[in-house]
């Protein structure tokens, strides 16, 4: 990406001649287009430019630096192995990491596809490329038989949902409302259903995504095209929750206006979890009286840790048949068509768009 709101460009850079200890050179097999990439392209987070975007990536090991023989779980890795990795990297030394134990809020945190300008060596720091250079300290995960489509279909959405619902906690028998039927919403649905939620309602669209939500086990869906008025959507939620409201509402849209609407969908004493606002999409009017009147607990969740990636991979191995994330990959693009891929996500024209360099 040369700059905000401009078409993506193809640029060539030299591959590193040396791989430093603890680093790895990976040939990209598949990179996902995340909604966050759209926010980055729009300039909703400060990032260097030019930049190679892409923080959801699967590839095969080309070369390993000295001292790198195992992945984050201590499994042996070698050239030719298929791997993925945690996009975010924390320092482990700052107060947030070591004292507060909030590593996703590390003051020195950086992330592939977000933090590194492409004009600076080693250049290859995002998934929209033929190769990516993984810096020392990256949490790498050997995938074995797990397909690229499964990993990228789940993408960063699944680790985001695992972290968020770890913080907010779904209790057995809870009635949960999920605002949004994109990858984050579907991931939150999968985690909520696996955590014992008794009834999950997904609010979103278009209708094709709501069908996938039902395939993932949603008990009810509310089509925002059919129920365009927030008051009508609230009425539907109350109907599905015996007139009380949801025990938990999870925001997975990234649109500020839905937050106030979601507060009203909660029951008295309920919980509200904000997952969809990684980028700064701007402010929205909120009446704090609703929070006090309902005695709500509001949670925020930012990014994920390597342990959430490890949990996500195990979840996909164990629950892949129940939650077929690979089916979310709906559009494949060559590297030369990366901007077209980004636009399909920006316009909600795909379920999950991916870049396949060797397509």
Q: Report if residue 312 sits inside a domain.
A: no
Tally of domains within the chain: 2
* CA angle, residues 18, 20, 21, in degrees to nearest 5: 140
Using only C-alpha atoms, the chain has a radius of gyration, in whole angstroms, of 20
184: domain CATH number is: 3.40.50.720
Under DSSP, the state recorded for 193 is H
CA distance 184 to 279: 14
CA distance 171 to 42: 37
Q: Which residue range forms the structural domain that includes residue 344? A: 24-144+329-355
95 and 191 share a domain? no
pLDDT at 241: 98
Query: What token pair was written down for 43?
Result: 């300039």
Residue 66: CB atoms within 10 A of its CB come to: 10
Under DSSP, the state recorded for 358 is T
198 and 252 share a domain? yes
Q: Report if residue 137 sits inside a domain.
A: yes
From the list 200, 165, 163, 196, the residue with the least C-alpha distance to 180 is 200
Q: Report if residue 174 sits inside a domain.
A: yes
- Find residue 179's DSSP bridge partners: 203, 251
pLDDT at 348: 85
CA distance 111 to 85: 11
From the list 347, 282, 294, 279, the residue with the least C-alpha distance to 44 is 279
126 and 162 share a domain? no
- pLDDT tens, the chain, 359 aa long: 999 999 999 999 999 999 999 999 999 999 999 989 999 999 998 999 999 999 999 999 999 999 999 999 999 999 999 999 999 999 999 999 999 999 999 999 999 999 999 999 999 999 999 999 999 999 999 999 999 999 999 999 999 999 999 999 999 999 999 999 999 999 999 999 999 999 999 999 999 999 999 999 999 999 999 999 999 999 999 999 999 999 999 999 999 999 999 999 999 999 999 999 988 889 999 999 999 999 999 999 999 999 999 999 999 999 999 999 999 999 999 999 999 999 999 998 888 999 999 98
Under DSSP, the state recorded for 185 is H
Q: Report if residue 42 sits inside a domain.
A: yes
Q: Report if residue 210 sits inside a domain.
A: yes
CA distance 25 to 61: 6
CA distance 146 to 313: 8
57: domain CATH number is: 3.90.180.10
Residue 17: CB atoms within 10 A of its CB come to: 5
CA distance 39 to 76: 36
201 and 98 share a domain? no
269 and 341 share a domain? no
105 and 206 share a domain? no
CA distance 180 to 266: 16
Q: Is the dihedral of CA 237, 240, 244, 249 positive or negative?
A: negative
The angle that helices 306-319 and 148-168 make with each other, rounded to 10 degrees, is 120
From the list 157, 206, 152, 135, the residue with the least C-alpha distance to 308 is 157
29 and 76 share a domain? yes
From the list 277, 234, 273, the residue with the least C-alpha distance to 250 is 273
136 and 189 share a domain? no
259 and 208 share a domain? yes
Q: Domain boundary residue among 300, 320, 347?
A: 300
pLDDT at 146: 96
Q: State if pTM tops 0.85.
A: yes
pLDDT at 279: 82
57 and 123 share a domain? yes
Q: Report if residue 186 sits inside a domain.
A: yes
Q: Report if residue 233 sits inside a domain.
A: yes
Contacting residues for 236 by C-beta, under 8 A, at least 6 apart: 201, 220, 222, 227
CA distance 177 to 192: 10
From the list 67, 326, 342, the residue with the least C-alpha distance to 215 is 326
CA distance 122 to 22: 14
Q: Report if residue 90 sits inside a domain.
A: yes
138 and 209 share a domain? no
Contacting residues for 18 by C-beta, under 8 A, at least 6 apart: none
Query: What token pair was written down for 141?
Result: 């995960």
Answer yes or no: are the C-beta atoms of 312 and 159 closer than 8 Å.
yes
Query: What token pair was written down for 275?
Result: 């997952």
76 and 179 share a domain? no
Contacting residues for 231 by C-beta, under 8 A, at least 6 apart: none
């Amino acid at each position: 990406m040369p700059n905000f709101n401009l078409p993506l460009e193809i640029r060539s850079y030299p591959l590193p001649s040396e791989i430093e200890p603890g680093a790895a050179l990976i040939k990209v097999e598949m990179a996902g287009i995340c909604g966050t990439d759209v926010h980055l392209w729009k300039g909703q987070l400060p990032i260097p430019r030019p930049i190679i975007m892409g923080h959801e990536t699967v590839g095969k090991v080309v070369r390993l630096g000295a001292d790198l023989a195992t992945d984050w779980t201590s499994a042996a890795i070698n050239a030719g192995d298929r791997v993925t990795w945690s996009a975010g990297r924390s320092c482990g030394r700052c107060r947030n990491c070591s004292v507060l134990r909030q590593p996703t809020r590390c003051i020195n945190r950086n992330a592939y596809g977000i933090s590194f300008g492409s004009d600076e060596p080693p250049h290859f720091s995002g998934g929209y490329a033929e190769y990516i250079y993984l810096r020392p300290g990256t949490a790498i995960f050997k995938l074995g038989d797990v397909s690229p489509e499964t990993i990228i279909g789940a993408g960063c959405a699944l680790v985001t949902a695992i972290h968020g619902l770890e913080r907010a906690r779904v209790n057995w028998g809870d009635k949960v409302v999920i605002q949004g039927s994109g990858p984050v919403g579907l991931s939150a649905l999968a985690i909520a259903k696996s955590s014992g939620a008794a009834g999950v309602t997904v609010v979103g669209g278009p209708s094709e995504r709501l069908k996938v939500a039902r395939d993932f086990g949603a008990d009810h869906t509310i089509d925002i095209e059919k129920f365009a008025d927030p008051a009508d959507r609230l009425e539907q939620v109350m109907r599905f929750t015996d007139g009380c409201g949801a025990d938990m509402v999870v925001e997975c849209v990234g649109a500020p206006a839905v937050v106030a609407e979601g507060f009203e969908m909660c029951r008295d004493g309920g919980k509200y979890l904000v997952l969809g606002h990684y980028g700064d999409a701007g402010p929205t009017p909120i009446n704090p009286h609703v929070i006090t009147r309902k005695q709500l607990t509001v949670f925020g969740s930012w990014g994920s840790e390597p342990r959430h990636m490890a949990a996500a991979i195990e979840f996909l191995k164990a629950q892949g048949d129940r939650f077929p994330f690979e089916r979310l990959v709906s559009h494949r693009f060559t590297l030369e068509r990366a901007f077209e891929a980004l636009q399909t996500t920006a316009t909600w024209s795909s379920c999950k768009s991916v870049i396949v360099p060797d397509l």
